Structures are given as structure tokens and as C-alpha cells.
Structure 1
Amino acid sequence: MLKALHLYLTNFLSLIFPNLCPACGAELVVNEEIICTNCRYNLPQTNFHLQADNIVARQFWGKLRLEGAYALYYFTKGGKVQNLMHHFKYKGMHKIGNLMGDIAGVQLSKNEIFAGVDYIIPVPLHKNRLRERGYNQAACFAQGLAGQLNAVVEENNLIRTKATKTQTKRSRFARFENMKEVFTVANAEKLKGKHVLLVDDIVTTGSTLEACAIPLLEIPGLKLSIATIAYAE
């Protein structure tokens, strides 16, 4: 009786306040959560977990010493992944990050490089931006990944020491200059000899990830990999 009443109320409320898929805008039906079934299986996946020399990895060749690099989806302007990321970053839908992490984690758990990750470190937000947004989208992604990789999210070890201006429309060089000496490690001892997965929401030029990686790679014995939700050319 109570179960039937709950279902009735849920269906009634969905008529007034329909739950829409943040990627395509379609109304979610019963048993669909966060994104619709069609988007869950048809968003443009990269399969970079199957390609050691994928596009993301090549971005860092000659710059960073990485074990592996990965992005879950291709990001195209005006596409469904852009819609998804907009809702994730600016509409308060932090659960999107958890779901994306879970989906990505299933793929990465099948790759021996990523399966050996000890710690997952999200790219940190400056405290002012964190206060404004209410959550760190990279941390949400990290939490979803951790459940599949049996790794620990290390959220407060990599510190952003100063706020930076938006990276939009900057060249790669300008982006890197904007990010120089922005990040520092609080407890390097804890990460010695560990395999760390550095994660963010989107990788474009890779400047932010590179700036984060530099102080991490100064730690003796640390192995570093990178993962993001999306890759934008």
C-alpha cells in the first residue's frame, strides 16, 4: 500500500515538475536516474582506456611523466556532453559527477595501469570559487571513480594557493602562464611511492592538469595518471 502510494505521488509530481535529462532534455521515466537510458549508452565515449597513446596522453608527451591518461567522453560545442557538463558545473547537479565517475571507473578497472591506483586527487578549486559553487566538480567525479577502483580520494593534499582568471579563450601558453605556481602539496610524505590519479572535469590544452602535476611529480617514487570526464579539442 505504502509503496503504491509513493509511486503514485512520484508520478504525480513528475507531471508538475518533470525530471529532464541534462544531456538531451528528454523527460526521465521510471527507473531512470540523472540521465536517460539513451544518453547513458550513446554519449560519445572515447574508449581511451584501450589506447595507451590516445589524444590526451599525447598532449603531455615530453612535458609530464605519466603512467596513463584518459577521458570518458568527447566534448563538442553545442553537443550533449556540453549540456551535461553545464548542468554539472553551474546548475547544482553534483550527482552527475558521481555517475560519470562510476561509469569511468568501470572502464578503468579493466586496465591494469589504472587498477593499481592508490589515491585519487581532484584538481582543487580556490576557496572563493568553492564557496560560490558549493562543491568541487572534480571531487564529485573522484568519489565515483574511487568506488570502482578501490582507491582513496585525497581531497585536501593538493592545495590551490591563489585564485586565477578564467581560462576561456586563452592560448595554451597563456593558460599555462596563468596557472604557474598556483598549486602546492600539503603532505608529500603520504604520497611517496604511491600511484596517484589526478582528475578534473574537462581537459582542453591540459594546462591546469600540467600545473597540478608538476609539484606532485617532485615527490619521490610517485607515479601519476590523469583522468577526466571529457576531452575537448
Structure 2
Amino acid sequence: MPILKDYFSAFAYILFPDNCLACGGVIEQGEKHICTVCRVSFPRTNFHLDKENMLAQKFWGRVKVEHAFAYLFFRKQSNVQSMLHYLKYKNAPEIGQIIGSWYGQELLDNDFYKNFDVIVPVPLHPKKFKSRGYNQSAYFGRGISEVWKIPQLEQGLQKVAHTESQTKKSREERYQNIKTGFTVPNPKEIEGKNVLVVDDVVTTGATLEACISLLLENGAKTVSVAAIAVTQS
């Protein structure tokens, strides 16, 4: 029976092949959502090899960050943008978990997992969560969590309010505006812990800055960040 099941599975794949959610090409049987060609050719940052990388520099002089990582560079009209569009808007949260497991393994191979006790995803506002049905950053964190065997606190941070428009606000005003929208519901969960905050895409870093500051104020020993992608300035 298992052989017959494999036969029908292969036949179904021939009739209805899956497409890569990054490049749109047909993926090989056994691949999941992203083809091997895209996975190999994605523009990696290798930020874990450079503590003074461009993401870390976004926080210099503003908030203390132990480590700052991003797996990929984000460029418009790229395969990375296409993949993230499916992750955020096309009901494909499993992409986040796959990327998290890939990046988690890469960082595991470099022993970075030893620096962290818990993972905390950047939260969505409840209304946005209800509309989307999932938090894409949490799925990214799940992938890392499974590889590292450390817990993820999916409610470690909560977004409690819609923030005001950022238009015409200074960087400091934007930061304060964002910070007031988050809360740490149970500080004891992160007290004295080395926390890794995970996000999908980092642009200015203002949201992460607010999250880092809030976690430190609520007793985290250290805070680091890891994102799927970072925009190049």
C-alpha cells in the first residue's frame, strides 16, 4: 500500500505541480513552497558574522542590542519580496516557519542559540491578527524555536493600540508613538532572560527599537533581534 500511495502522489504531482512562491517556477517533488534555486540564490546578509552590521547600527546610541541579525536583504521586485508577499497577504504562514528553520539551523551551526533563553515575536494588533488569521513573525519564530529547542512566548509582547499616523513626525516622536502601543503582559516571563525578538522585515527599525526598550524596562537581561529580511538603505 505505501508503494501505491507514493505512485498516486507522484502522478498527482505531475498533473498538478506546485509553484515556487518566490520565483513562480515549478518546484520539484519533495520541496516545500520555495524551490532550491531560490533558496540558494537568496541574497543573504551574513550579519551574524559581523557584530557591527548595518542592522545593528540602526540601534547605536538609541537602545542596547546584544545581537542584530537578518537572514536576507529585501529589494523591491525581487524573489524575496514575492515570497514575503505570500507570507503576509496570501495566507501562507508556513513560509515563515520554513525560513525560520533554515535561519535557525544556520545560526545553530555558529552556536548563536546558546545566547538566548526565549524568543518573542513582534505582535500584531488584535484587529489585524483577526483579519489575517496569524502573526507572520510568530511563524518565523516557531521555525527558529523548533531548531534551537528553546521556547517562544507568542504573547510575550502585545500590541494594545493602533498607533497614530507617522507622517510629519520626527524619529523620536515616531519611536514614542510606537512604544505606547505595546505592552509586556507578564514581565516575570522575560525577567532575567536573554530575549530574541523576531520580526519579518526591518526598514527603519523604529518598531523593534520600541520593543527592545520595553523588554529591557520590564526586566530582560539582554535583548537581541532577528528578522527575515532588512531593507538596504
Q: Same fold (TM over 0.5)?
A: yes
TM-score, L = length of structure 2: 0.91
The 1:164/1:16 distance shift into structure 2, 3 A limit, reads: farther
Structure 1 distance, partners of 2:41, 2:213, is 35
1:18-69 Cα deviation digits (max 9, x unpaired): 3100111111111211211111211111111111111100111111111100
What are the ranges of 5 or more consecutive residues in structure 2 without an aligned counterpart?
Answer: none
Computed over aligned residues only, the root mean square deviation of the Cα atoms, in angstroms, reads 2.1
The DSSP-based 3-state class of the residue aligned with 2:217 is coil
Unaligned runs of 5+ in 1: none
How many residue pairs end up in the alignment?
Answer: 231
Is the 8 Å Cα contact of residues 114 and 225 (structure 1) preserved in structure 2? no
Q: 1:74-110, CA deviations, whole angstroms, 9 ceiling, x for partnerless residues?
A: 0100001000100111111111111111111112224
Secondary structure of 2:17's aligned partner: coil
> Partners of 2:29 and 2:110 in 1: how far apart?
33
Amino acid at match of 1:95: E
Q: Which residue of 1 is the match for residue 81 of structure 2?
A: 82
- Aligned partner of 1:194 in structure 2 is 193
AA of the residue aligned to 1:105: G
Q: CA contact under 8 A between 2:179 and 2:214: conserved in structure 1?
A: no
- Counterpart-to-counterpart distance in 1, 2:186 and 2:112: 24
Flag the 1:113–1:172 CA change in 2: closer, same or farther, 3 A. farther
For 1:170 and 1:106, how far apart are their aligned partners in 2? 41
Point out the more displaced range, 36-45 or 172-181: 172-181
> How far did residue 170 of structure 1 move?
8.2
In the alignment, the residues of structure 2 paired with residue 224 and residue 143 of structure 1 have an alpha-carbon distance, to the nearest angstrom, of 18
Aligned mates of 2:106, 2:38 — CA distance in 1: 17
| Match in the other structure for 1:141 | 140
TM-score where L is the length of structure 1 = 0.91
Per the TM alignment, residue 16 of structure 1 is displaced from its structure 2 partner at its CA by 4.5
Counterpart in 1 of 2:48? 49
Which residue in the other structure is 1:99 paired with? 98
Contact 1:102 1:145 in 2 (8 A): yes
Q: Which residue of 2 aligns with 1:181?
A: 180
Identity of aligned residues (%): 40
